[in-house]
Amino acid sequence: MATGAAAAVGTIFAAWPFVAQMNPDASTIAAGAPIDVDLAPIADGQDIKVFWRGKPIYIMHRTKKQIEEARAVPTDTLKDPATDQSRVKEGHDQWLVVIGICTHLGCIPIAHEGLYDGFFCPCHGSQYDTSGRIRQGPAPANLPVPPYQFVTDTKIQIG
Amino acid sequence: MSGPSDFKPSNPALQWIERRLPILGLMHSSFVAYPTPRNLNYWWTFGAILSFMLAMQIATGVVLAMHYTPNADLAFRSVELIVRDVNYGWLLRNMHAVGASMFFFAVYVHMFRGLYYGSYKEPREVLWILGVIIYLLMMATGFMGYVLPWGQMSFWGATVITNLFSAFPVVGDYIVTLLWGGYSVGNPTLNRFFSLHYLLPFVIAGVVVLHVWALHVAGQNNPAGVEPKTEKDTVPFTPHATIKDMFGVSVFLLLYSWFIFYMPNYLGDADNYIPANPAQTPAHIVPEWYYLPFYAMLRSIPNKLAGVVVMFSSILILVFLPWLDTAKTRSSKYRPLAKQFFWIFVIVCILLGYLGAQPPEGIYVIAGRVLTACYFAYFLVLLPLLSRIEKPRPLPNSIADDVLAKSGKVAATVAAFIVAGGLVIGSAQSVRAEEADTPPANRWSFAGPFGKYDRGALQRGLKVYKEVCSNCHALSYIAFRNLADPGGPGYSTAQVAALASEYKIKDGPNDQGEMFERPGRPADYFPSPFPNEQAARVANGGAAPPDLSLITKARSYERGFPWFIFDFFTQYQEQGPDYVAALLQGFEDKPPADVKIPDGSYFNKYFPGHAIKMPKPLSDGQVTYDDGAPATVAQYAKDVTAFLMWTAEPHMEARKQLGFQVFVFLIIFAGLMYFTKKKVWADAH
């Protein structure tokens, strides 16, 4: 009994390195460290795409109209309810920062397309609004907001 | 494997081995003396065909792995170098890539045969379940193999399929990170897929041994579905089954070779000739044709998790088939209702395959839902119900009786199956460019089974490339030496050396540690006009001009139903060249009123979306021809397209020539096999 238990424990511990090696290695993790992005060159209504951890991050400088559109929608009508305020940093309402990976099956949506002036995924037709929230199509959730903070008024750190 | 054998080798050396390891006796009882029902039809040869395909895939795969580089930066190029530079590399690669499709085609026939003749019923349940396991392993292997060339479809297919696992609550994201070995599909993913793609075929081979073992314990099923009772019901495996299987394999080889030598890209996706680009998703992500029915089911369910569950269930349900269909009668031949529903089920699967290739909108989604429901209803409602209400027709007393009452409709059904298979296969093709006008078909000298390049056109095309296209477009897979290769533009080595020396090639570092420029040599590749993609993008209004080496294979347009079926027979493979030639001539100064072209873009009739960043590149008289060919845009476009077809497919002439020889051989061989088979079976019919 004790021998069997010891063998089982030993096997599990011996198997662990074989599973753990599958996870991101040290260099991949190091390369995934936070990055700084300068927002000054992005004009009103424009957006840029930066890569962080191999993922495209959309940084959108929203116009007044886009912000109003996003805030006019009652949240209880949404598939994945979230207020626009909860998806941006207070005092920086014009900046939308989202991971540009469709929550359906991982394609990259195109900015400024679709019925909601937000994002449109060409793969299976999911449409996101100016707050990156899912409005139509098969995607189950909103475009995720990556961890980031404002270092200065025109500079953010993603990660 | 049917008990201890009384086999005694006559050679004393073999007797010595046999006493210590009775392997010869095992082989003899399993593959020589083994009794096989005498009424087996040609659907039963697909077991042997599958074994052959597995051996083929392993042999070609091991060889390809000797030349392939599993690195995200090098993989795409290494595959191109296999095709271009390795001796017979183009052949081995085609054999392996087409082989995957043929393997799946054969496995589907094999599975439908099992379904039709009730080969999963008692006492063959374990045999059937082992088969389902092999099929699952095949799907995993095929998927990972498709990722290795690291083209656009490879990359995005890998992204979509690995993301399926993120649907599982809580642990989903962790599983996906574990699969990727990073935060997105990347180099670690490619490396592990290569390792597993090499491993899994050997696992499959192991399970195949179990599958054959289980088969030899339970004995083969047969079209009548009654077990052999007397000696009269069976024939020995060798020579009867062996020769029949070999005839089946030789006929199958004809189909296989048709693809290898004449239409190697028919089953593939043009997008996979574009190197993987994590920043851009192709317009339609479509898996290989053999996954399409499952992809259709996945997409028809609006909820992500439910979609994934439905897709996996559609395969796992097969495991429970022996207990869902409890009818005593095995063969659908004697089940009038089950027989009809079987064929409806086959059509449902084919239609699901067609839908899997269509964009997920409107009527396609609704049809997908209806057919998904039909698929499951067949297993969960229909088969259990039929086993209770259906009145089977009387069974023959024995296999021998069945043979006497036999009728041969095999040829007709085979033909029907090939057409049906072509339907699904080709539907993968029908998803391409958007609503652009269809490019007009051209007469190309390289089309058809005996097609050859027109040397004059290739030389003129090179001139057009050099003087016009090369200002913006790279040709980075072509070395100067290639211009002297057989089957190419036909320059002499001296001409090539002279042409190469006109170019300045960056080399170094030298002894002082400096980079320097020197005149080109034949071994150098055409230098690219821009140092990197970003520079190309900035210099061209945000759209990087694509490398032209593979452009005629990387572009295509929708052929649509029923054209893709005809294409299989006519060997029409020239969508790419037709599109490129049309594009070069499709510029119009005044766009139609309903098309808005943004500033910095130009109207092109054939470009998807019509707004192209490239200004009209060719005008009459721009390039001077020395051989008297007309200096018109139409002629330039045709010549440069022919040249680019050669850059994409430099060994095409060798491929078609060898193909002809192989066909002559195979037809003779299959004929010989047929008469040998007739002779061997003369006493059994």
Q: Tell me: the pLDDT tens digits for B444-483?
A: 999 999 999 999 999 999 999 999 999 999 999 999 999 9
Chain A residues in contact with B183 (beta carbon < 8 A):
24, 28, 32, 53-55
Chain A residues in contact with B280 (beta carbon < 8 A):
108
Q: What angle do CA B606, B609, B614 make, to 5 degrees?
A: 70
**Who wins on pLDDT, B655 or A110?**
B655
Question: Is the CB of B304 less than 8 angstroms away from the CB of A107?
Answer: no
Which tokens is A64 given? 């007044």
- Calculate how close chain B gets to A2, using CA atoms only, in Å: 32
Question: Is the CB of B186 less than 8 angstroms away from the CB of A23?
Answer: no
Distance CA A83, CA A73 (A): 9
Do the beta carbons of residue B431 and residue B364 sit within 8 Å? no
Mean pLDDT of B592-621: 84
Which of B281, B310, B364, B533 to substitute to test the interface with A, most A CBs within 10 Å? B281
- Calculate how close chain B gets to A3, using CA atoms only, in Å: 32
pLDDT at B423: 60
pLDDT tier for residue B556 given thresholds of 50, 70 and 90: confident
Sign of dihedral through CA atoms B331, B217, B122, B371? negative
Contact of B188 with chain A, judged by CB distance below 8 Å, is answered with yes
pLDDT tier for residue B51 given thresholds of 50, 70 and 90: very high
Chain B residues in contact with A19 (beta carbon < 8 A):
178
Highest mean pLDDT among B138-142, B425-429, B544-548: B138-142
Which of residues 86 through 125 in chain B touch A, CB cutoff 8 A? Answer: none
Residue type, B420: A
- Calculate how close chain A gets to B158, using CA atoms only, in Å: 10
- Calculate how close chain A gets to B453, using CA atoms only, in Å: 38
Contact of B299 with chain A, judged by CB distance below 8 Å, is answered with yes
pLDDT tier for residue B245 given thresholds of 50, 70 and 90: very high
Which of residues 461 through 490 in chain B touch A, CB cutoff 8 A? Answer: none
- DSSP helix/strand/coil, B643: helix
Interface of A with B (CB under 8 A): 19, 22-25, 28, 32, 49, 51, 53-56, 104-108, 121-125, 138-140
Distance CA B349, CA B418 (A): 15
Contact of B542 with chain A, judged by CB distance below 8 Å, is answered with no
Chain A residues in contact with B177 (beta carbon < 8 A):
23-24
Least confident of A140-154, B244-258, B467-481: A140-154
Using CB atoms, which residue from A28, A123, A125 is nearest to B281? A123
Question: Is the CB of B177 less than 8 angstroms away from the CB of A23?
Answer: yes
Q: Cα-flanking dihedrals φ and ψ of residue B310, to 5°?
A: -60, -45
pLDDT at B280: 81
Residues linked to residue B505 through DSSP beta bridges, in sequence order: B518
pLDDT at B431: 43
- DSSP helix/strand/coil, B341: helix
pLDDT at B3: 47
Mean pLDDT of B369-397: 94
Q: Which candidate in A61, A104, A112, A124 is catalytic?
A: A124
pLDDT at B430: 47
pLDDT at B312: 93
Which tokens is B153 given? 């479809």
Distance CA B206, CA B540 (A): 55
Least confident of A61-70, B200-209, B305-314, B427-436: B427-436
pLDDT at B635: 95
pLDDT at A19: 87
Task: Please tell me which residue of chain B has the smallest CA distance to A104.
Answer: B304
Residues linked to residue B199 through DSSP beta bridges, in sequence order: none
Question: Is the CB of A54 less than 8 angstroms away from the CB of B182?
Answer: yes
Chain A residues in contact with B303 (beta carbon < 8 A):
140
Distance CA B361, CA B304 (A): 16
pLDDT tens by residue, B398-422: 888 888 765 445 556 666 666 666 6
Residue whose tokens read 């996870």: A23
Which of A105, A112, A127 to substitute to test the interface with B, most B CBs within 10 Å? A105
Distance CA B580, CA B555 (A): 8
Chain A residues in contact with B178 (beta carbon < 8 A):
19, 22-23
pLDDT tens by residue, B558-599: 777 788 888 888 888 899 999 999 999 999 888 888 777 777
Chain A residues in contact with B185 (beta carbon < 8 A):
54
Q: Cα-flanking dihedrals φ and ψ of residue B235, to 5°?
A: -130, 155
Q: What is the mean pLDDT of chain B?
A: 90
pLDDT at B352: 95
Distance CA A133, CA A121 (A): 12
CB under 8 Å to A59, separation ≥6 — which residues?
Answer: A37, A39, A42, A47, A48, A49, A50, A95, A96, A97, A156
Which of these, B549, B538, B556, lies nearest to B643 by C-alpha position? Answer: B549
Question: Is the CB of A53 less than 8 angstroms away from the CB of B304?
Answer: no
Question: Is the CB of A28 less than 8 angstroms away from the CB of B188?
Answer: yes
Distance CA B79, CA B54 (A): 22
Please count the residue pairs, one from chain A and one from chain B, whose beta carbons lie less than 8 angstroms apart: 78
Task: Please tell me which residue of chain B has the smallest CA distance to A79.
Answer: B303
Task: Please tell me which residue of chain B has the smallest CA distance to A109.
Answer: B281
Sign of dihedral through CA atoms B276, B278, B282, B286? positive
Using CB atoms, which residue from B181, B278, B280 is nearest to A23? B181
Task: Please tell me which residue of chain A has the smallest CA distance to B161.
Answer: A105
Q: Which domains can be identified in chain B, with CATH numbers?
A: 1-25 (no CATH), 34-391+399-430+659-681 (1.20.810.10), 439-478+547-650 (1.10.760.10)
Distance CA A115, CA B492 (A): 59
By percentage, how much of chain B surpasses pLDDT 70? 94
Chain B residues in contact with A24 (beta carbon < 8 A):
177, 180-183, 188
CB atoms within 10 A of CB B365: 21
Contact of B182 with chain A, judged by CB distance below 8 Å, is answered with yes
pLDDT at B415: 65
Mean pLDDT of A43-47: 85
Mean pLDDT of B284-302: 89
Chain A residues in contact with B160 (beta carbon < 8 A):
105-107, 123
Orientation of helix B633-648 relative to helix B455-467, angle to 10°? 100
Which of B161, B163, B177, B303 to substitute to test the interface with A, most A CBs within 10 Å? B163
By percentage, how much of chain B surpasses pLDDT 90? 70
Question: Is the CB of A25 less than 8 angstroms away from the CB of B181?
Answer: yes
Query: Is the pLDDT reported for residue B661 higher than 80?
Result: yes
- Calculate how close chain A gets to B282, using CA atoms only, in Å: 8
- The verdict on whether A112 is a catalytic residue reads no
- Calculate how close chain A gets to B82, using CA atoms only, in Å: 29
Query: Is the pLDDT reported for residue B436 higher than 60?
Result: no
Least confident of B70-74, B268-272, B421-425, B464-468: B421-425
Chain A residues in contact with B165 (beta carbon < 8 A):
none
Do the beta carbons of residue A54 and residue B186 sit within 8 Å? yes
Residues linked to residue A57 through DSSP beta bridges, in sequence order: A50, A99
pLDDT tens by residue, B75-126: 999 999 999 999 999 999 999 999 999 999 999 999 999 999 999 999 999 9
Candidates 3.40.50.720, 1.10.10.10, 3.40.47.10, 2.102.10.10; CATH matching A27-158: 2.102.10.10
Distance CA B13, CA B506 (A): 66
